[in-house]
Structure 1
């Protein structure tokens, strides 16, 4: 759900040729000037005296507009999240490892034996409009997401672990019996079974409160398009939304009611900048910092004066997904089709072995990506299996897998038929989201052709990101395979992406074994670190074997920051936006 696109014929040609040279299965020396991404600083260095106030100018490199859903209960687009960072703030703070800690808008007490959690609001906590945050506001998002008419994608197994949630969701109860206010600042949540992710951001505890008073008289099914979500959101962060131009820019002003004290900046302006012009904007010093700068054009901006380049391991990855069913809205679950075109495991595995991910990371992204061996990424050090072998570049193995499964070239045209002897054409969906998007798609199609598979772009061309994900959500029949990316959040458990009851499971793969292994990741048994690691290793091995989604590259996040900015950092935890300052009136 992220990254970018531009056009540049010369670069497209050079990258395509560079990868084609790797087509024989031999490892080639890189000709690009690659970086050791682990050496980047995570915080800006600036000892100059700060000015009073000032406006921080933020560019977000993207070739699509942000949808403008300013509420975490309904937003499912990374652009909206990036626009609202600084205004959004998690109800409970978390550290660099994603573990929930005290000191935020609320603190958390966990009773594992009693299967309960207590969320305790800090005293005098206020919304950005100056009204008090209440226990009703803490409970309300659970009532929204759990409601039978909820139109979003957040409901799933983690919500159903709350006592009484299933009955409420099915319309059998008017309230959620397992959630109650125990005094004017404390909310108690009771669970059927405790999940170790309760300790993590993005885990079992929902991350935001919602001002209930603003939604009085608005049906749940209509909330996503309502004014409190689309026009005038009320938030908890250091800044509040002042005005916005639909899909293009948003201006934030300091929140005078922020619990953490008066912010140092007066304003923040965030603007969507097309990736084709983002480097020129950086050269002209039009913005203070650039979010989602394209790694594929890193050489063109890495040495520009006036900017420090920050970097860190990111919690995101690219992957090949294989469509194998549809979403059953009535049953709120995946309807896996064992007779679908991509249901043959050998076919999926062969397509994975046909792609040289090491060459992609090296030649496309200047070393600012790394090859991926697992759907549990290295970002999650405690549960990622570094020793698991991923899908290495091996055409011989790919061809044998296809032969063994009955995919043979029966008419000697160089293209394999399916096991029934019928013509096989695989429709491949790709986003138009970065400069080398077309070259990357062309490379993959070429490599698949070398193992005898006819693969064509869905619709004959790349797709805009919003259209791409809409088609995935709606299970467009023209998509068999797709190249996409996930931002994982801070909870390593992948149930929300690959579980049977997750609408984000775009592959629509489901099996009893997958259900069992995913459930084991979130059982009380895995409060023990050894058991947790064992369970995660088992799912990673199973996911690799089934190949419903094949990870290709892991991200490093790269962000240029102008030398006039102070106290800005890249971190897994939320940055303290109230402490960010400027040392000059305009970018240097």
Structure 2
């Protein structure tokens, strides 16, 4: 199955809408042997002499390829220590668990190539006109919703009308793919009853009028999903996210439709015979949530065919499971340490950045905390090289945009202590911990999520590293926090969170404004500045259609983030996926390939 790279989502330790590097170690010839005729790689992936793996040594696709039989059931395990929330619509979901459920029954209307650009291979085609700043969207095939209703272009327009509605309670609609549409902001504020820049021509065609055509539009800026307006007939926008239509009876346009839902635990899907691309390759799919502690056992026993979000730290111990192919790929995500620097202003619908009032407002304190941790050692010790030290907030996933010569704070505890001392943080009462420059006690509340064998020792490592340089850091509430509760605390700017460890899943477009923009609800650090605003605006301006200009802007932005440190990256990461050898055509390659789309996945009965 192609990874859903058109989405940006909240990943396991952090952020969802789905989309290189010489990684640590890895033998020069590892993975080069035993290529079969179908392009698969059945060779066992070996670590280097220090036990460090390189994700580039893994195959990206299974060796079992060919036409699916049309029968059988694929058993999928989603690895999580928490139930999925059950907000099963692309317009309303917030967490990765829900996104993983949705992507199996509803699909994007666009496809992407390996350079993360929309192609014309999806249900919806598009044509840009730079002379008048319009985009014409056209339904290229007849398609049906799972309830049998035909898809029309109104279903695409409805996505914008729901997300932009003043009563919309979700987190989307703040990026340029929405705000650049003429009349969108007036509609969003309630000053207009419709989006004036959207013109429906007929059942298959709509013209969107933009203030300008930004480079992000064709790299994930166009909203990629339909909205079944007829399915929500009679439901007010403010009630949609909590409605039965979202929680109990969701529909989509994918090759499989929802048959049953066990709240928070499992979804059973069955073949949708009227799928627009053709007959699906199986009878159905069963997806269930499996705790990290038991997922490897479920793979080994054959209880599941594929384990999504498999804990990378477990791979070295279970890499030799019989009957399983291990696929690997660089992840469009990074883990980071975030600092609370303000709060969300509900009235203005934007960040209220107020560092002078916040415990972590001193960037020298934040810089010292970066110097205090050894992320390179963390990647090797906890993840055997399948995660590695992060530097920039634009990751190697976007290899042409990642600034690999960025000068960032390196592990140096003594320098961390000196920075604290120079900034006035001194241990005045002899308890081993520094006080603030004003002589006040400094106790830093650190929030981190539960999940997986490494969660607790990893959180403890960071806490101890900061204590080693004289900072009194304690776990928020004295424990690790469950996924949904963790993000509720960040979203609500809980006063018990000063610093947190999260992750952000980057989108197909390199534009970082979805997390660092002033009006981005996902901007959990609550950081904003005029310089940041200016660079983010320039990076997605019409002038930035010039790639070299855009690259220079984002180089400058990466340098600004190292100077300001609203967050600092801890690790980039790869993911591994165990796939039972009975599964056909599963792939983790990026870029459109019809042979590996979901409807082409199959299972052998034997």
Partner residue in 2 for 1:181: 200
**Contact residue 92 and residue 105 of structure 1 kept, 8 A:** yes
Check if 1:193 corresponds to 2:235: no
Pick from 571, 592, 597 the counterpart of residue 576 of structure 1: 597
CA–CA distance in structure 2, aligned partners of residues 108 and 87 of structure 1: 24
Partner residue in 2 for 1:3: 12
CA–CA distance in structure 2, aligned partners of residues 31 and 393 of structure 1: 24
Query: 158-167 or 45-54: which moved more?
Result: 45-54
Q: CA deviation at 1:51?
A: 4.3
Q: CA deviation at 1:547?
A: 0.5
**Contact residue 4 and residue 294 of structure 1 kept, 8 A:** no
Q: CA deviation at 1:140?
A: 0.7
1:351-366 aligned at under 5 Å gives the runs 351-366=369-384
Pick from 207, 210, 226 the counterpart of residue 224 of structure 2: 207
Task: Tell me the SS of whatever aligns to 2:397.
Answer: coil
Partner residue in 2 for 1:27: none
Q: CA deviation at 1:144?
A: 0.7
TM-score by structure 1 length? 0.93
Task: Tell me the SS of whatever aligns to 2:462.
Answer: helix
CA–CA distance in structure 1, aligned partners of residues 98 and 589 of structure 2: 19
**Contact residue 372 and residue 466 of structure 2 kept, 8 A:** yes
Check if 1:295 corresponds to 2:312: yes
Q: CA deviation at 1:129?
A: 2.1
Closer, same or farther: CA 52–125 of 1 in aligned 2, 3 Å: closer
Check if 1:66 corresponds to 2:84: yes
Check if 1:308 corresponds to 2:317: no
**Contact residue 115 and residue 191 of structure 1 kept, 8 A:** yes
Check if 1:251 corresponds to 2:268: yes
**Contact residue 314 and residue 557 of structure 1 kept, 8 A:** yes
CA–CA distance in structure 1, aligned partners of residues 74 and 519 of structure 2: 41
CA–CA distance in structure 2, aligned partners of residues 542 and 572 of structure 1: 30
Pick from 338, 359, 363 the counterpart of residue 355 of structure 2: 338
Query: 472-481 or 91-100: which moved more?
Result: 91-100
Partner residue in 1 for 2:191: 172
CA–CA distance in structure 1, aligned partners of residues 589 and 219 of structure 2: 15
CA–CA distance in structure 1, aligned partners of residues 333 and 67 of structure 2: 36
Deviations 1:512-549 (A, max 9, x none): 11111111111111111101110111111101111101
Q: CA deviation at 1:128?
A: 2.1
Task: Tell me the SS of whatever aligns to 2:132.
Answer: coil
Pick from 276, 282, 303 the counterpart of residue 299 of structure 2: 282
Unaligned runs of 5+ in 1: 6-29
**Contact residue 3 and residue 434 of structure 1 kept, 8 A:** no
Q: CA deviation at 1:398?
A: 1.3
Check if 1:391 corresponds to 2:391: no
Partner residue in 2 for 1:12: none
**Contact residue 109 and residue 117 of structure 1 kept, 8 A:** yes
Partner residue in 2 for 1:443: 461
Closer, same or farther: CA 47–115 of 1 in aligned 2, 3 Å: closer
Across the aligned residues of Structure 1 and Structure 2, the Cα RMSD in angstroms comes to 1.6
Deviations 1:431-477 (A, max 9, x none): 01221111111111111111111100011111111111110001000
Partner residue in 1 for 2:114: 96
Partner residue in 2 for 1:22: none
**Contact residue 279 and residue 300 of structure 1 kept, 8 A:** no
Task: Tell me the SS of whatever aligns to 1:554.
Answer: strand
How many pairs were matched up?
Answer: 559
**Contact residue 92 and residue 108 of structure 1 kept, 8 A:** no
Pick from 282, 287, 291 the counterpart of residue 270 of structure 1: 287
Q: CA deviation at 1:52?
A: 4.3
**Contact residue 446 and residue 497 of structure 2 kept, 8 A:** yes
Pick from 247, 262, 271 the counterpart of residue 230 of structure 1: 247
